[in-house]
Amino acid sequence: MTATQDAPTTTATSRRTTAGRDGRRTAPYFFLAPAIVLFVVFLALPIAYAVYLSFRTEQVSGLGLGSGARTQVWTGFTNYAQALTDPEFLASVGRVALYGVIVVPTMLGLALIFALMLDSRRSRARGFSRISIFLPYAVPAVISSLLWGFLYLPDVSPFYYVFDRLGWDVPSLFSSNLVIFAVANIAVWGGVGFNMVVIYTSLKAIPTELYEAARLDGCSETRIAWRIKIPIVTPSIIMTFVFSMIATLQVFAEPTTLKPLSNTISSTWTPLMKVYRDAFIRGDLYSAAATSVIIAVATFALSFGFLHLVQSRAFGQEK
């Protein structure tokens, strides 16, 4: 747009053609250089370093006093074997698995329902609802945990006020059986709006002629939703599923924030909380590195495994 004004004079053009051809060859590397450098320094190198550390350990000779008493040595898969048999780690994995089973289907189910209702021509208050449901995406997980944390406290909570008036004795949401739902609710609250927008955007992309034809054939709105809308937005739902799954495995901020309000959340409540504790409170970097690598591998395996599964099931016939 502004370029036409800066177009150089013709004499400059002839001089520049050879230089230009040269520039065209080196230009892409120049454009990619910052990204590649940052990628290597802040992604590739840390991964390699974590893998390296996970095979190392510190050996203490004598009483472990003085410099030189502690030396780093190779230890093979010992750290991995220890991590995979550590009851605290296994408990945290089990907890996160249950947490994921609660969060992901609830969040995506609600997101799909809201998206379909937004897309329905018969609903009202759509603009208001869309903004309201998307709003939690603007609230950092720490802040939303803090807000919900107070809403869970029986002294503050409006829910407990109502239960109290009704004479119901409802156990605290921070009790050990219910705390997982307390954390899951925060994740659902924070994620439902974003996923709704993802699904809603792909619903909007469906040509309306498709519905018109179905309506002429006497299809009800519910039938249109099941037979046309949901199948078309399935690829979006699959991607939101994968991203939600990755986020679930990494849950850290919510339980860490809720911890001071509740004594049922231990410092190894989720796998990443355990990694944090091992690395920074116990100072055992090596087993923390091994646990990180296990989480990363599990994340990759789950996302690719799932994508592979749905691709061969759902899109197999297209290829």
Partner 1 sequence: MSILAPAPPSAATASAPRTLPRRRGGEPASVLATLVLLLGAAYCLLPVLWVVVASTKSGGELFSTFTFAPSTHLLENVSDLNAYRDGLFWRWMANTALYAGVGALLSTVVSAMAGFGLAKYRFGGKKAIFNMLLAGVLVPGVVLAIPQYLLLAQIGMTNTYWAVLLPQIISPYGIYLARIYAAASVPDEIVEAGRTDGAGEGRIFRTLALPMMLPGLVTVFLFQFVAIWNNFMLPYIMLGDDKLYPLTVGLSGLLNQGASQPALYTLVITGALLSIIPLIALFLTLQRYWQVDLAAGAVKA
CB of 69 to partner 1, least distance (A): 21
How many CB atoms neighbour CB 32 within 10 A? 11
Tell me if 318 contacts partner 1 by CB under 8 A.
no
Pairwise CA distance, residues 117 & 125, whole Å: 10
The residue among 45 and 69 lying less far from partner 1, judged by its C-beta, is 45
**Taking CB under 8 A as the criterion, which residues in 3-32 touch partner 1?**
3, 6-8, 12-13, 16-17, 19-20, 23-25, 27-32
Dump the DSSP string for 223-286. HHIIIIIHHHHHHHHHHHHHHHHHHHHT--HHHHHHGGG-SSS-TTSSHHHHHHIIIIIS--HH
CB of 63 to partner 1, least distance (A): 26
Contact yes or no for 70/60 (Cβ under 8 A): yes
Which one of residues 124, 216, 283, 316 is an interface residue with partner 1 (CB under 8 A)? 124
109, exposed or middle or buried, with CB in 10 Å at 0-12, 13-18, 19+?
middle
Q: How far is the CB of 65 from partner 1 (least distance, A)?
A: 23
Q: For residues 194 and 136, what is the distance between their CA atoms, to the nearest angstrom?
A: 9
Told to check if 68 binds partner 1 by CB under 8 A, we report no
Residues 28 to 67: which contact partner 1 by CB under 8 A? 28-32, 34-36, 38-39, 42-43, 45-47, 49-50, 53
Give the amino acid at 272.
Answer: L
Of 152-181, binders to partner 1 (CB under 8 A) are 155-158, 161
Q: Of 219, 285, 306, 310, which one interacts with partner 1 (CB under 8 A)?
A: 285
Nearer to partner 1, 66 or 122 (CB): 122
Q: What is the nearest approach in angstroms of partner 1 to the Cβ of residue 72?
A: 13
CB of 116 to partner 1, least distance (A): 8
Give yes or no for residue 198 binding partner 1 (CB under 8 A).
Answer: yes
- Could you say which of 82, 106, 172, 250 contacts partner 1 (CB under 8 A)? 250
Candidate list 175, 201, 208, 312; residue touching partner 1; CB under 8 A:
201
- The closest of 301, 306, 299 to 251, measured between CA atoms, is 299
Q: Please select the residue that binds partner 1; options are 75, 92, 144, 287, rule is CB under 8 A.
A: 144
Q: Does 279 bind partner 1 (CB under 8 A)?
A: yes
> Quick check: 260 binds partner 1 (CB under 8 A)?
yes
Tell me if 107 contacts partner 1 by CB under 8 A.
no
Are the beta carbons of 241 and 227 closer than 8 angstroms?
no
Question: Which listed residue (82, 126, 170, 228) binds partner 1 by CB under 8 A?
Answer: 126
Q: Is 224 in the site for partner 1 (CB under 8 A)?
A: no
Q: Pick from 88, 194, 266, 267: which binds partner 1 (CB under 8 A)?
A: 194
* Alpha-carbon gap, residue 121 to 126, rounded angstroms: 10
Q: Which of residues 70-89 bind partner 1 (CB under 8 A)?
A: none
- In the 3-class helix/strand/coil scheme, how is 134-183 assigned residue by residue? HHHHHCCHHHHHHHHHHHHCCCCCHHHHHHHHHCCCCCCCCCCCCHHHHH
Query: What span, in angstroms and rounded, lies between the C-alpha atoms of 173 and 162?
Result: 15
- Residues composing the chain: 319
207 binds partner 1 (CB under 8 A): no
